[in-house]
Amino acid sequence: MSKKEKLIARLLSRPKDFHYDEAKTLLQYFGFEESHKGKTSGSRVEFIRGNDTLLLHKPHPTGELKGYQVKQLIDTLKELKLL
């Protein structure tokens, strides 16, 4: 099982400790690029792939995504037929 497959399996198990860096890595595997909307964007991060965009809030201080963010990430990737 590749790193990408392991990361997908981990995401789909909806762990309580899924980290922002893991989400970023997974989105990069799917061809998304991280984009900050300038100096005033705060913790909001946009991931762009062609016409597809996904917005995430970079959690702090731990970096762990909230449960609703993990679900939102899964739902969006399924809508885009990437999962």
Query: pLDDT (tens digit, 0 to 9) for every residue of the chain, 83 residues total?
Result: 899 999 999 999 999 999 999 999 999 999 999 887 666 566 788 899 999 998 888 888 888 999 999 999 999 999 999 98
What domains can be seen in the chain, in order of their start residue?
Answer: 3-79 (3.30.920.30)
- Residue 39's pLDDT is 64
Contacts of 35 (CB under 8 A, 6+ apart): 45, 46, 47, 48
DSSP alpha helix (H) spans, 1-83: 3-12, 20-29, 67-79
Among 55, 42, 11, 56, residue whose Cα is nearest residue 29? 11
Kindly give, in sequence order, each residue whose CB lies less than 8 Å from that of residue 47, ignoring residues fewer than 6 positions away.
Answer: 24, 27, 32, 33, 34, 35, 53, 54, 55, 56
pLDDT of 42 reads: 65
User: CA 67: distance to chain centroid?
Assistant: 12
* Residue of 76, 83, 34 whose CA lies nearest to 58: 34
